[in-house]
Amino acid sequence: MTAATACAVVTEFVDRYRAHDIDGMTDLCSINADFSYVPFEVWGKQRVLRGDGKVGTVGKVIWTGLITSFPNLTITVHTITGNDDGDVVVEADIAGTQQLPWGNIAPAGKRFSEPHLFAFHVGADGLIDGITGYWNNAGINGQLGHYEVD
Amino acid sequence: MSATLTATPADTARAFLDALAAHDVEAALATVEPDVEVVVHPLGVSGTSRDVLRSVLGDLATAFPDLLLTVQRLIVTDDVVTALVKVEGTQAAAYAGIVNQEKHIDLDQAWRLTIADGRIVAVSAYWCQQQLYRRLGVKRFDQVTIVGGAQS
């Protein structure tokens, strides 16, 4: 694995995300790829649902929901750096206009654009085996007109 | 050759994070260039001055005097070091407009540090302010200083 190879895999992943090709995104991930969207947490009365698990079981569901609720969802990469161990760090803005409910946020036709940082790991087989994401949900929710801390 | 010129990017990042973990903001800032480019996305803070970072770190250390910073991963990609950290602490003073209710935070953050010649020249920080608000008892983003139970 070289840094250039790892960055190329992640760049292709991002391109497929931009094209809303979720199956194509998961094709670039190993069957058991780890997934962690750190800010994603839904507080119920007795439990908290977090965006942690596997790409195939948690990531795919979140991506599908996002693209359904924000049909013009797009991603703009600002920086991408990698190393020969397969680590790739991406800074990107994700943006979209809400057309359907997202979580408990009713659609009001509003647009958000929010900076994200993603830490990927690409394994020796050339497949992504780890994705961790950071962003500010208060920024997104405020832009969508939802100000309650749930 | 000075010690800073022989330090690897990881060395510099660790020095910055170790000093912050020790609540020594000035020691952390000693690893930072005076005209550092700073973007702290969740606070909406940006600038090109060490004083901007001094304010951000100082506010954090003051508001959470028992601050515990744990480095979970340090990812070195050329001259960029991305630190995935967990910040924990008990609020003891107002922070980011949030009144003190002596609540505890545990917050995962990502700090992307760009390093040149052993010095930090750019910082961008990511975390979820909604998680921070939730842990500190804020009920609405647009009324941060009005906390639950404060209104009659």
Question: Looking at the predicted structure, is the pLDDT value of residue B150 above 90?
Answer: no
Report CB contact under 8 Å: A147, B140.
Answer: yes
Q: Is residue B124 part of a domain?
A: yes
Q: Is residue B152 part of a domain?
A: no
Domain A3-143 has CATH 3.10.450.50: yes
pLDDT tens, position by position, B80-91: 999 999 999 999
Q: What residues contact A1, with CB distance under 8 A and at least 6 apart?
A: A84, A85, A86, A122, A123, A124, A126
pTM of structure: 0.94
What tens-digit pLDDT sequence spans chain A (150 residues)? 899 999 999 999 999 999 999 999 999 999 999 999 999 988 888 888 889 999 999 999 999 999 999 999 999 999 999 999 999 999 999 999 999 999 889 999 999 999 999 999 999 999 999 999 999 999 999 999 999 887
Q: Closest-CA residue in chain A for B110?
A: A134
> Could you give the ipTM of this predicted complex?
0.95
Cα of B144 to nearest chain A Cα, Å = 10
Question: Looking at the predicted structure, is the pLDDT value of residue B3 above 60?
Answer: no
Residue ranges per structural domain of chain A: 3-143
Domain CATH for B107: 3.10.450.50
pLDDT tens, position by position, B97-140: 999 999 999 999 999 999 999 999 999 999 999 999 999 999 88
Chain A residues touching chain B at CB-CB below 8 Å: 3, 38-39, 41, 43, 79, 81-83, 87-89, 91, 115-117, 119, 132, 134-139, 141-142, 147-150
Its domain, for residue B115, covers 3-143
Q: How many CA within 13 A on the CB side of residue A102?
A: 28
Nearest Cα to Cα of residue B40 among B132, B105, B104, B119 = B132
pLDDT tens, position by position, B37-88: 999 999 999 999 999 999 999 999 999 999 999 999 999 999 999 999 999 9
pLDDT confidence of residue A103:
86
Q: What residues contact A105, with CB distance under 8 A and at least 6 apart?
A: A98, A141, A144, A145, A146
Q: How many CA within 13 A on the CB side of residue B114?
A: 14
What is the token pair recorded at B63?
Answer: 């508001």
Q: Which long-range contacts (CB under 8 A, 24 or more apart) does B43-49 make?
A: B43/B96, B43/B129
Number of structural domains chain B divides into: 1
Report CB contact under 8 Å: B130, A89.
Answer: no
What are the distances in angstroms from CA A129 to CA A6, A21, A36, B99?
A: 11, 18, 11, 41
What is the token pair recorded at A78?
Answer: 């600002």
- Note whether B124 and A78 are within 8 A (CB): no
Report CB contact under 8 Å: A149, B112.
Answer: no
pLDDT confidence of residue B151:
46
